[in-house]
Amino acid sequence: MAKLTKKVVDAATPSDKVFVVWCGSLRGFGVRVQPSGVKTYFVMYRPNGGGRSEKPVRFTIGRHGAITADQARGLAEKALAAVASGRDPHAKRLADRKEPTVSELCDQYMAEGTGTKKASTLRSDLARINCHIKPLIGNLKVSRVNGQDVARMMRDVATGKTAAVHDGKRKRTDSMARGGQGTASRTVGLLGGIFTYAVRAGLRSDNPVHGVERYKDRQSQRYLSGEELGRLGAALAGVAGHAQGVAVIRLLILTGARKGEIEGLRWAEVDFGQSCLWLGDSKTGQKMIPLGSPALLVLKEVARHPQSDFVFPGRGKSGEVSGHFVGTPKVWKEVCEAAGLAGVRLHDLRHTFASLAAGGGQSLPIIGKILGHSDVKTTARYAHLADDPLKIAANRTAEAAAAALAGKTAEVVPFTSKSKA
């Protein structure tokens, strides 16, 4: 038999039956010629280092034309070398075919690995999976994903490679995200959770997300100043025809609650006797929100609707009572325009409440409990607003200087250092 070359394979004329042309220089290497004219390279071997007692395995290499005879020979040599070292290329191929892809892993994770997540979080997770993870690395086998794949995916999301075309109807925060560094970092965080599930399920031994440095999540930390709050108060007092929206906004300012927690508030959750709200469900589960006197006053001024158990009932298209009020963003836009507050979000009222608490000397654990933070790291963002000796010193000195300029007397109390032992 001659060496299997392109010339030899091209000369193999198809017949009415399948036949094999063997290579004369590499034992087990051959090409199958089918009646249709399709010619397929393969290599035969006995697995597990066995002799004639082992059943031969035919390991397909590829079609003639798609690869050359020389390329097929090289792959056949690698396969035989693997067999000689105790491995079985055919068994590995079958295992690889059964191994799930990242897309399949994501589906399995959403079905089995999210038992403690809330519905709103699951919607965000599904959006990131469908918009970013699946399009970029969904076809990869779970065991093949490495840190470089994860880093590349993060860069692609950050640069907008998977951004949806804006059609003028979707909001920036809906499931068709536009990408960016913040979205990229949060998507990688989700992928890390998915691969943690894969490790627990025995699909791989390590998490490829570990060690990948993410972009810093530059979420807005906008706080309203006292002067801005004054303008906001005046604007709220001047808004007509939006009693529910105005009441919701006032409660957001006075409680630090989330918009959905106030819009969806039920009378059964309002405890005037204990001065608090007992929320049956929130982003972080059940929680209690303490109410100060101003917040209690706002709630006492809200008239109860006989056909709804919501504090702020909604209206259907035909005017009937339906669900709860969801029009706060529209009212907020009008209020901000009247107050001259550009670029301020409703959620910034929550930040403002926390900043006032921190600046007023409240401890971070107390602030975290009021806001319902499940992670102390979330509250830590307000640490720089807490009692600062330098800020106090500068403020006292400025007050003394201002008083002197006004012809009044003021005493500057010096900061004394502790004496050395």
Predicted confidence (pLDDT) per residue in 378-397, tens digit? 444 544 444 444 444 454 54
Report the candidate in 254, 279, 237, 270 with the shortest Cα–Cα distance to residue 350. Answer: 254
Q: Quote the mean pLDDT of the chain.
A: 81
Q: What is the CATH number of the domain that holds 16?
A: 3.30.160.390
Any domain includes 339? yes
Strand ranges (E), 325-393: none
Distance from first CA to last CA of the chain, Å, rounded?
98
What's this model's pTM, rounded to 2 decimal places?
0.51
The per-residue b/e assignment along 192-218, b for 16 or more CB within 10 angstroms, e otherwise, is bbbbebbeeeebbeebbbeebebbeee
Q: 8-19 pLDDT, tens per residue?
A: 999 999 999 999
Res 48: pLDDT: 74
CATH of the domain at 166: 1.10.150
Please tell me which residue, 402 or 308, carries the higher pLDDT value: 308
Looking at the structure, tell me whether residues 261 and 365 fall in a common domain: yes
The closest alpha carbon to 356, from 250, 269, 229, belongs to: 229
Query: Is 220 part of any domain?
Result: no
Q: Is the dihedral of CA 158, 163, 168, 170 positive or negative?
A: negative
Residue whose C-alpha is closest to residue 220's, from 118, 346, 338: 346
Beta-carbon count within 10 A of 129 CB:
23
Judge whether residue 167 has pLDDT over 60: no
Same domain, 115 and 23: no
Residues 195 and 106: beta-carbon distance below 8 Å: no
Judgement on whether residues 74 and 125 belong to the same structural domain of the protein: no
Residue 210 lies in a domain: no
**Which residue do the tokens 């031969």 mark?**
56
Q: Report if residue 219 sits inside a domain.
A: no
Helix, strand or coil, per DSSP, at residue 33:
strand
Q: Which domain holds residue 323?
A: 226-385
Q: How far apart are CA 13 and CA 34, in angstroms?
A: 9
Same domain, residue pair 123 and 147: yes
Those residues with Cβ within 8 angstroms of residue 205's Cβ, 6 or more apart along the chain or in another chain: 199
Domain assignment of residue 420, yes or no: no
Cα separations in angstroms, 233 against 110, 170, 368: 44, 31, 26
Note the pLDDT tens digit of each residue in 55-104.
889 999 999 999 999 999 999 999 999 998 888 888 888 777 788 999 99
113 and 59 inside one domain: no
Q: Is residue 415 part of a domain?
A: no
DSSP 153-183: HHHHHHTTTTPPPP-SSS-TTSSS----HHH
**According to the model, what pLDDT value does residue 400 have?**
57
- 91 and 107 co-located in one domain: no
Query: Do 352 and 281 share a structural domain?
Result: yes
The answer to whether the beta carbons of residues 299 and 251 sit under 8 Å apart is yes
Has residue 158 been placed in a domain?
yes
Same domain as 80, residue 108: no
Say if residue 80 is in the same domain as residue 161: no
Query: Is 284's pLDDT higher than 60?
Result: no
The predicted model gives 300-309 an average pLDDT of 91
Domain count, the chain: 3
293-300 and 243-255 helices, crossing angle to 10°: 160
Same domain, 232 and 370: yes
Given this model, what pLDDT does residue 276 score? 86
The letter for the amino acid at 182 is G
Q: Is residue 83 within 8 Å of 60, Cβ to Cβ?
A: no
**Alpha carbon 119 to chain centroid, angstroms:** 14
pLDDT of residue 369: 52
Q: Does 185 lie in the same domain as 173?
A: yes
Give yes or no: residues 18 and 89 share one domain.
yes
Given a contact cutoff of 8 angstroms between Cβ atoms, the answer to whether 4 and 29 are in contact is yes
Residue type, 415: F
pLDDT confidence band for 415 (50 / 70 / 90): very low
Checking if the pLDDT of 349 tops 90, the result is no
Residue 395 lies in a domain: no
